[in-house]
Amino acid sequence: MGRKPKISKEIKIKACEEYKSGKGSFASIAENIGIDLSTVRQWYLTYQIYGDKAFEIYTHNRIYTKEFKQSVINERILSETSLADLSAKHNISSSVIRKWIIRKLLT
């Protein structure tokens, strides 16, 4: 059984295109969809890097090596890159990156 996102790929792309073309702010687009503006901002950051592929649906959890997780954590700490920017760059949820950091701090 596949995963079904709460908001379709088409709506996410439309939201990003509206913002890109100046037809709305993150806040106004988010209000129209009924979500938080930080979500629309995150979509847009990721869409800028990956285009339509940013919203592909995965049928299973992605697996990351320990080395990759450590490199993302190091990038966050050493370059002080924001979670939103790291999330967009690697197309990984910011909550997943946050969990990696917390686990690392607790070990």
- Measuring CA to CA, how many Å separate 28 from each of 5, 23, 50? 21, 9, 23
Candidates 61, 60, 57, 49; CA nearest to 9 is 57
Q: CB–CB of 89/48 below 8 Å?
A: no
What three-state secondary structure class fits 63?
coil
Reported confidence tier of residue 60, pLDDT bands at 50, 70, 90:
confident
Q: Considering the entire predicted model, what is its pTM?
A: 0.76
Task: Kindly list the domain boundaries of the chain, sorted by start residue.
Answer: 9-55, 66-106
Q: What is the mean pLDDT of the chain?
A: 92
Q: Say if residue 2's pLDDT is above 60.
A: no
Mean pLDDT value across residues 70-91: 92
Single-letter residue type at 25: S
d(CA 74, CA 23): 37
- Reading the block at residue 26, the tokens are 């993150």
